[in-house]
Structure 1
Amino acid sequence: MSTTPPPSRSLTSDTPPEADEHIADDGPFGWLRALGPQGRRAFAGAFGGYALDSYDYFTLPLSMVALAAYFGLDSGQTGLFTTVTLVVSAVGGAIGGVLADRIGRVRALMITVVTYAVFTVACGFAPTYEWLLVFRALQGLGFGGEWAVGAVLVAEYANSRNRGRTLGAVQSSWAVGWALAAVAYTLVFSFLGDDLAWRVMFWTGALPALLVIWMRRRVHDAPQAAARREQSARKGSFAEIFTRGTAETPGLLRTTVFASLLSTGVQGGYYTLATWVPTYLKTERGLSVVGTGAYLTLLISGAFLGYLAGGHLTDALGRKRTIWLFALLSAICVLTYANIPSGADTLLLVLGFPLGFCMSAIFSGFGSYLSELYPAAVRATGQGFTYNTGRAVGAVFPTLVGFLADGWGVGGALVFGAVGYALAALALLGLPETRGTELR
């Protein structure tokens, strides 16, 4: 069954054929109406895929303390789980991007969802630490490709006026999946012993299979973008995103290098926090399962609103200004959060909201920004490579925290997250502003 309906309009139009060109795209949900019926289904597929991607990812950080006790692991070994996942995700992102440019966005999206679901479930059956590490690495293949493919799918339906808020809304599904994982963690670990609870958490990762069944029938690639991609002889060319170019025809090498550095900085900071905050709250702050869940509620609520607010700001202020703003605010929040004095648990609770808000809002412009930096034939290839290379290199940050935590404490080692945000701010100096770009 084809996932790309035939185009019915001029290929120069930026408006999907399913959408009505005269639909007003103002108001709180104007961006959603403007997508048209097919675009809204694509949005739902990408939103659901990324939410479940997030859910499957967070099954590990939330279960980290139980895993360490079950397998007798130190902080360095547990930190290696995240590093392996993120390093392999770079491979998955590159493969997923190339597939999306060659066989279509929707088909590639379904492959990535099935991959991360299967290997998340497999983690629950791991008999040893080594097997769990292998399964978690393989889960990274699907985890790496899903976001880039889904973001490009929706970006090609959205118009230039509100592409930022549309992709910001897709990005907000990460907080939704995180919240679902936190709820599942609270319930599972409250009613089951730790030795079984961590396995059950991984087994619930089978949920994405239901989404794939729906997507198979209901979601299609944006027709104009698909037709333009099919007409290119260089579609899905990995070498193309590393071309140096000439004075007359600029290449993509500079874009790829600086976009990868940008992703490295932002994700190094983010995954440091996402991986270690649950452990920090439980081991150094002495919170119970329920107490940790309460603190995470504020953090995740801030994250959800941050994604939405960041999406609107990236359309209003521009891609680069928004990322610069939240890089600064995120660094300040990390340093403050990691140095809250002992006993000030109320302050810890209150600061969880702005921490979640800032470290998530910075991601809102990524979907639109990376899509606008590359032409249709290699759009998913470029986005998949740069975003997931950032994940892989940024994985060094949570690993450093893991190895330094034994001496510095988790809270003290979290300051490395601020270094990542500084790197992101510097990387923007080598990239253009793309607000208002038509995806032609």
Structure 2
Amino acid sequence: MQKMRYTDGDPDHADSDKTFTVEEAVDCIGLGCFQWRIFIVSGLITAADALEMLLLAVLSPVLRCSFGLTDFQVALITTVVFCGMGTFAPIWGIVGDKIGRKSTLVNVTLCIGYFGLLTAASPNYIWILILRGMVGVGMGGSPQGFTLLAEYLPSKNRAKVLIFSQIFWAAGSMFEILLAALVIPTIGWRWLLAFSAIPVLTVVPLLWFIPESARYLVATGQYDKALRNLNYAAKVNKSKLPEGRLVKSQVQTETGRVRDLFSREYLRSTLQLWMLWFGTAFAYYGMVLASAEILRVENEKNSHSCKCNYLTSEDYKTMIISTLGEFICLPVNMLLIDCIGRRLTGSLNLAGTGIFFLLLQLSVPRWLLTTFMFAVRGFSSATFNWIYIYSSEVYPTSVRTVGMGMASAWARVGAMITPFVAQVVLAASVTAATWVYGLICLSCAAVAFFLPIETKGRPMPQTVVYDSFQ
């Protein structure tokens, strides 16, 4: 039989009087300018991702009219993006554990920006599908920025800083809706595509000014580079590293090994996380898409016209207000995640998402409908923020990005399915669509509650170790 454990120190340096691990070094360096630089770059990537995501919601009504698309064809535009993300998320995860977080991010941002710009010149519907799919390929690797930031944060500050990083996604979402309200009615949807792709390209040169993850470097045996990066971090933060020699916190294993995700210690966590990533993405992107579709269906009923209805200024106003709900996840998660723990926080967020999704089927005044949409966006965004934090904390460094990549792939499966609920089923029956979302969210709330590992106050493990015993 095999038993998993973690061992302290490094056998290669067993005789050293004083040693320290990356975890101890990062805690000793503390939170300062060094981390805030990475925070900004990682946040800009997140904001650029949000632009590309919200683009799908505001673009759908326009493309429906411009190309005479059916509900199924409109949903397919969103699905191909998530198909690219789901297919390449685990691949980018393996690449990130093999060649490093920083190098992977450079390729990811170039891919998103390049194909995003090309989409603006799409001559027809087929080319839109192809090029948006390639944008999705790049977006499958965007969690690398979140991982890089998490691996340089002191344990006592990690959760709060990662929660606060959600402000970039919320700001990017808000900016995209405002941009759409200004650009689409004046110079057209192609310019919106171009303007939405430019921000991610501006991040590429900034990536050269942030260091590779010291945790990754130690996990791959590059001690000199890891120590150099940690010394630089200490210098920027005006602090010092612990005395002694940098060592591995556990016996080293190969990085990026997928089978470690199914080891005795992590099998249950992996399977439950896959369910949670699926449900989280299904609900969040479902609300993003449904917000435009619900308003379009309402306009169709009021005008008694065909399905070719552009969003009005009042619709954009409603979407902007509901998007503000994403900012409520900051105080909610900050108050709860270190107080009641990770598992219960995730469970409460998912339950809130499900309850308010069910309320969307009610026939209510526009202001109350906006309130329900505001709440769904807030709780679903808080859930996404939570699942990233929990996943980055539960897996060891040696498989952290591949673990998040595999889980993210399941999120993309949920995101690939959700357009057909939010844009096809909802067009036929708002009640049926909201019940699907509500039940899935409430089921995931139970799954989150019974996660096997509570990561509150738990150091980020470095690697997976197996021991044989009789």
Question: What's the TM-score, normalizing by structure 1?
Answer: 0.85
Q: Which residue of 2 aligns with 1:226?
A: 217
Q: Are the counterparts in 1 of residues 170 and 323 from structure 2 also a CA contact under 8 Å?
A: yes
Gapped runs of 5+ residues in structure 2?
Answer: 1-17, 223-251, 301-309, 462-470
| Cα 1:435–1:128 shift into 2, 3 Å | same
| Cα 1:92–1:423 shift into 2, 3 Å | farther
1:78 and 1:311 map into 2 onto residues whose CA distance is: 37
Residue number among 65, 68, 72 corresponding to 2:61 in the alignment: 65
Q: Which residue of 2 aligns with 1:235?
A: 255
Q: Which residue of 2 aligns with 1:393?
A: 414
Q: Which moved more, 1:382-391 or 1:263-272?
A: 382-391
Matched, 1:422 2:442: yes
| Cα 1:297–1:16 shift into 2, 3 Å | farther
Gapped runs of 5+ residues in structure 1?
Answer: 1-8, 22-33
Letter in 2 for 1:424: C
Deviations 1:54-104 (A, max 9, x none): 112222211111101111111121112222222221222112211211111
What displacement does 1:182 show?
A: 0.6
Residue number among 164, 168, 171 corresponding to 2:166 in the alignment: 171
Q: Are the counterparts in 2 of residues 236 and 378 from structure 1 also a CA contact under 8 Å?
A: yes
Matched, 1:56 2:52: yes
Where 2:349 maps in the other structure, the secondary structure is helix
What displacement does 1:171 show?
A: 2.6
Q: Which residue of 1 aligns with 2:225?
A: none
Show the 5 A alignment for 1:246-265.
Answer: 250-265=264-279
Matched, 1:45 2:55: no
Q: Percent identity?
A: 24
Q: Which moved more, 1:299-308 or 1:124-133?
A: 299-308
Q: Are the counterparts in 1 of residues 347 and 446 from structure 2 also a CA contact under 8 Å?
A: no
Q: Which residue of 2 aligns with 1:120?
A: 116
Matched, 1:434 2:434: no
Matched, 1:367 2:388: yes
1:155 and 1:275 map into 2 onto residues whose CA distance is: 30
Q: Which residue of 1 aligns with 2:193?
A: 202
Q: Which residue of 2 aligns with 1:131?
A: 127
Deviations 1:136-180 (A, max 9, x none): 11111111210x211211111122223222111223321111111
Residue number among 204, 216, 225 corresponding to 1:212 in the alignment: 204
Q: Are the counterparts in 1 of residues 322 and 371 from structure 2 also a CA contact under 8 Å?
A: no
1:16 and 1:281 map into 2 onto residues whose CA distance is: 52
Q: Which residue of 1 aligns with 2:21?
A: 12
Q: Are the counterparts in 2 of residues 307 and 360 from structure 1 also a CA contact under 8 Å?
A: no
| Cα 1:431–1:229 shift into 2, 3 Å | farther
Q: Which moved more, 1:410-419 or 1:165-174?
A: 410-419
Letter in 2 for 1:176: A
Letter in 2 for 1:212: V
Q: Are the counterparts in 2 of residues 164 and 312 from structure 1 also a CA contact under 8 Å?
A: no
Where 2:141 maps in the other structure, the secondary structure is helix
The structure having more radius of gyration, on CA atoms, is 2
Q: How many corresponding residue pairs?
A: 404
Matched, 1:110 2:131: no
Q: Are the counterparts in 2 of residues 311 and 365 from structure 1 also a CA contact under 8 Å?
A: no
Q: Are the counterparts in 2 of residues 96 and 145 from structure 1 also a CA contact under 8 Å?
A: yes
Q: Are the counterparts in 2 of residues 330 and 418 from structure 1 also a CA contact under 8 Å?
A: yes
Letter in 2 for 1:267: A
Q: Are the counterparts in 1 of residues 343 and 451 from structure 2 also a CA contact under 8 Å?
A: no
1:151 and 1:340 map into 2 onto residues whose CA distance is: 40
Residue number among 326, 332, 339 corresponding to 2:355 in the alignment: 332
Q: Which residue of 2 aligns with 1:297?
A: 320
Q: Are the counterparts in 2 of residues 75 and 405 from structure 1 also a CA contact under 8 Å?
A: no
Deviations 1:119-143 (A, max 9, x none): 2222212122121111111111111
Q: Are the counterparts in 1 of residues 274 and 407 from structure 2 also a CA contact under 8 Å?
A: yes
2:338 and 2:70 map into 1 onto residues whose CA distance is: 44
Letter in 2 for 1:414: T
| Cα 1:119–1:59 shift into 2, 3 Å | same
Q: Are the counterparts in 2 of residues 311 and 361 from structure 1 also a CA contact under 8 Å?
A: no
| Cα 1:411–1:289 shift into 2, 3 Å | farther
Residue number among 433, 452, 464 corresponding to 1:413 in the alignment: 433
Q: Are the counterparts in 2 of residues 166 and 311 from structure 1 also a CA contact under 8 Å?
A: no
| Cα 1:158–1:52 shift into 2, 3 Å | same
